[in-house]
Amino acid sequence: MLNKLNYLLVSMITMLVMLIACLASYAYQNNNLLEFEKMGSSLLTFNNIYDQTFGQLTNDAVACITTDDPTLKYSFTEDANNFISCNLSNINYIRFSDNRELTGFEMLTNSTTNPSFSTSDFSFDQKEQKYYLSYLEAYNNLIHLTISAVNEGDSTKLQGARFLELYSSKEALSSNYTEHFLNRIEEKKLKVTAYCKILAILAGLLTVTLICCTLRAASLYFKSNKRNLYFNQLYSKAIENADVGLAIVDRHYKYEYMNAMYKRIFNIQVSNPLGFTSFSVLPDEIATSLPAHSLSENRKNIILTYTLNGEVKYINYSCFAIFDEKGEPKFVTLVQDCTESKKKDNEMMKQLKDIEYYANAKSSFIANVSHEIKTPLNVIIGMVHILKNTDLTEKQSDILSKINISSELLLNIINDVLDISKIQKSSFVLYPTDFNLLNMLQESEEIFTPIISSKNLKFEKNYDFNKDLCLNIDRTRLAQVLLNLVNNACKFTSSGHIKLSVGRLSEHGNLVLMKFSVEDTGLGINEDDLSKVFQEFEQLENHLTKQHQGTGLGLAICKHVINAMGGDIWVESVKGQGSCFNFTIWAHKSDAATCEDLNAAATSVPLLNGAGKKILVVEDTELNYEVTENLLSESQIICDHACDGQQAIDMCIALPPDYYSVILMDIHMPNIDGYTAAEILKTEIGVTSPILALTATNIDSDTKKEHENIMDGFISKPFRYHDLYRALLPYFGDINDIKWKPIPPMKSQIIPAISYVTADDETFEFSIARAAQNLGCSEKQYEKHLLKFKKSFENVDRDIQELILDNNFTEARRIAHSVKGLAGTLGLVPLYKVAAELEATIMDHPDRVSILLPTFTDHLKGICRATNIH
């Protein structure tokens, strides 16, 4: 309605402007009609003046002839000459002027001339000018003839044929231009009259329309006022009865309005609070909790908390600025009592935490039981492998084979349970690496081909990609998915084939979309069951569960892994014909040359020319130093040891600046940390030896840039011995002069895996042979390091706990850092990670150490127990 009223008002204003324009135009045209009338009257007056003047001259001529009075004759002659002179002047003006208006026209002097008359009141066109010239010349001829009659005293000339002929000619000319002029003016008058009639009609229509619009606008205005009155009442009642408190304050923060709910929520007892500030009408505990009013900032859904009569209240607070008709700012406050809903939310959060706690407890219980089973199971599997190499009877071999199959099956089940436990606890992490896809597939084939052959199935493959294609994703998890899918296909296929297809679907920049498919000719899946195959603990064909063992976790794990990689997985199946499991993933492409270099680097290590060269190892942990010294002794490098930064400074003061070929500097040490020590060595003592940071702390690019002036490089722990050798390579001769030797393969002796269980569902398994190879030492030497680690750090968890209780966070953090560094050096990755987390927690959130310390203890004790078992 308001829009219609606005439209009508705009239309009315437009029509009013048009009406005024019509009336103004009508008045202007009507004035033109008056001007035309005046022009006709002026022409007739003009002609009359000439006729009267000429008639007077003719009478004076007759009188002169009759009386022969010299005076009268002189007067006549003067008037006649003036008449002629005036005519000649006017003739010249008309002939030589382009102006058709007679503004420069000279009038004859005559007592009968109308003083208000002017020749500018009318104008001639070209034809009228021609007539008028002839008219004036005729007058001149008549005057000359009259003057001649007076001079000769012959009055008959004034009655003669010549005079009458000239006079008739003058009259005819006067009649022609007068008639032509009046006709032309009449035509203009007709046009103007018609235009005035049109304007009058248009003005009438506009007037009628304007009146109608005015009546309609008035009707709408009254209706709008009535409607506004209704809505004003509605809004007023709604605000007064709403369960939301509303108040309005002015720029001086004084209340201008508040509804009943606002008073009720804030317990306002003042009968008339308007005109007062919040501190004048609200209880102090409420007024102090309200945020300061700000007319330049809107706020929404702020939860305010205050205590009233011993009860905690929660208020949802919102505010915004408005402006009145004078442009003055007003501040609107909306409040809602959300105490009950907040209490319910708190109760729900408590229940959710309880549910989460019991869910985690369930997962932890399952994982711990799985780990407890897995520890002796590893021994069983290891013993089976040892027994296989002894002399056995056929029956004993059969029994041993069954034990082995059952153990492997149980181990797979436990691994599935542990994987799904990690996924449920969001501790599942991917570790992307660069690798050649074809090499990975060929290695995977070596694992599952015997499984397929054992069931007399045919293995087919279709690889549609460049053999040099290298990807950057988690290689281990990708292989796990493929193995799970192939195992699942073998489980439900009794004859036919298993087919693995891998192809490249598309590329986008450095990304490639790969598709993997595992097809079988097995039992197939009902269409209704397709949506269930990736659910946890779900087994289809329940009547066949005795025939096809499993936990129902394999496909669920595959789905979680592929989803974590950002891919999709699905199944296509026809009952009785077989199934096809497909998944697609986007992966970053890696440089093929880089993959080859990584492969070559992984199988070779440089031989450092360290004869006669010295390295200073600044390390606060004795065992870390011994490990580093053993690594470098093969290259005949002599190692000196400094326990902390201060000792390193004291040692270097008395030595030449380039005494050491390299200084390996730990970062976190007592007394003086690595960065400070390096800066003093470089800037104050003038050491020129390169300093490499050897630390278990993750070093980002910003940290490297910050310390690039004092640190020549960074070596992160845990590292393998060939990683350390490559880092030292630039400082021990030209790279082209360095010889490389292959990394010796592990001996193929069967050694049970060392395993331990932690409370966060992590399994740590490693063989001493592999760990020793990574560290670059013998297995016997590695065992010594491990036993020394146990001896030095077995009870370090209690030390950290006591330091935390004594608020000695610095020393507690230093011990955690030492454990982290040594665990990294020895390749105890899980302990390294939890020690790093403990170190960060001690530094940033010491109040949360008690939560993390049990996990640290589990890892530490687990390694110590595993060392005892071995």
The residue ranges of every structural domain in the chain are 2-107+117-210, 243-337, 345-421, 429-598, 603-742, 754-869
Which pLDDT score, from 0 to 100, does residue 355 have? 78
E strand residue ranges, 349-496: 433-436, 458-464, 470-473
Which residue pairs from 346-352 have beta carbons closer than 8 angstroms and sit at least 24 positions apart in sequence? none
β-bridge pairing 245-249 and 255-258: antiparallel
Which pLDDT score, from 0 to 100, does residue 666 have? 87
More confident residue, 404 or 741: 404
Q: What element of type H or E holds 316?
A: strand 311-323
| pLDDT confidence band for 545 (50 / 70 / 90) | very low
Rounded distance between C-alpha atoms, residue 512 and residue 470, angstroms: 10
**Is 345-421 in CATH node 2.60.130.10?**
no
Instruction: Please state the length of the chain.
Output: 870
Burial grade of 15 (CB within 10 A; 0-12, 13-18, 19 or more): middle
Lookup: tokens for 227: 């409607």
Which pLDDT score, from 0 to 100, does residue 724 have? 77
Rounded distance between C-alpha atoms, residue 422 and residue 417, angstroms: 9
- Per-residue burial over 784-820, b if 16 or more Cβ lie within 10 Å, else e, is ebbebbbeebeebbeebbebbeeeeeeebbbbbbbbb
pLDDT at 19 over 70: yes
| pLDDT confidence band for 431 (50 / 70 / 90) | confident
CB distance 502 to 516 below 8 Å: yes
- Cα–Cα nearest to 436, from 593, 296, 215: 593
CB distance 549 to 622 below 8 Å: no
pLDDT at 406 over 90: no
| pLDDT confidence band for 586 (50 / 70 / 90) | very high
Mean pLDDT within 512-516: 95
| pLDDT confidence band for 768 (50 / 70 / 90) | low
E strand residue ranges, 656-744: 662-665, 691-695, 713-716, 739-742
Lookup: tokens for 664: 């390996």
Number of Cβ atoms within 10 Å of the Cβ of 344? 11
Amino acid at residue number 602 = A
Reduced to 3 states, what is the DSSP secondary structure of residue 597? helix
Which pLDDT score, from 0 to 100, does residue 464 have? 93
pLDDT at 868 over 80: no
Mean pLDDT within 311-322: 80
Q: Give, to the nearest 10 degrees, the angle between helix 622-633 and helix 779-793.
A: 170
Cα radius of gyration rounded to whole Å, the chain: 58
Quick: pLDDT tens for 150-174.
888 888 888 888 888 888 888 888 8
Mean pLDDT within 753-777: 62
Quick: pLDDT tens for 677-730.
999 999 988 999 999 987 756 566 677 888 888 999 888 765 566 677 778 888
Determine the Cα angle at 108 with ends 104 and 111, to 5°.
Answer: 135
722 to 367, 379, 628: CA distances (angstroms): 35, 31, 12
In the predicted model, what is the mean pLDDT of the chain? Answer: 78
| pLDDT confidence band for 118 (50 / 70 / 90) | low
Which pLDDT score, from 0 to 100, does residue 102 have? 55
CATH topology of domain 429-598: Heat Shock Protein 90 (3.30.565)
Quick: pLDDT tens for 360-393.
666 666 666 665 565 566 557 656 655 766 777 8
484 to 92, 478, 558, 572: CA distances (angstroms): 123, 10, 7, 17
CB distance 553 to 422 below 8 Å: no
Which pLDDT score, from 0 to 100, does residue 813 have? 86
CATH of 603-742, picked from 2.40.420.20, 3.40.50.2300, 3.40.640.10, 3.30.450.40, is 3.40.50.2300
| pLDDT confidence band for 126 (50 / 70 / 90) | confident
Q: Write down the pTM of the prediction.
A: 0.37
Which pLDDT score, from 0 to 100, does residue 745 have? 46
Which pLDDT score, from 0 to 100, does residue 546 have? 42
CATH topology of domain 754-869: Four Helix Bundle (Hemerythrin (Met), subunit A) (1.20.120)
Quick: pLDDT tens for 597-611.
555 555 555 667 777
572 strand-pairing partners = 580
User: Which string of DSSP letters, residue by residue, matches 320-360?
Assistant: EEEE-TT--EEEEEEEEE-HHHHHHHHHHHHHHHHHHHHHH
Which pLDDT score, from 0 to 100, does residue 681 have? 93
pLDDT at 643 over 80: yes
Mean pLDDT within 455-469: 91
Which pLDDT score, from 0 to 100, does residue 161 have? 86
Which pLDDT score, from 0 to 100, does residue 363 have? 64
Which pLDDT score, from 0 to 100, does residue 733 have? 60
Which pLDDT score, from 0 to 100, does residue 381 have? 65
Quick: pLDDT tens for 317-348.
788 888 877 778 888 888 888 888 888 888 88
Which pLDDT score, from 0 to 100, does residue 585 have? 95
Number of Cβ atoms within 10 Å of the Cβ of 716? 15
**Is 243-337 in CATH node 3.30.450.20?**
yes
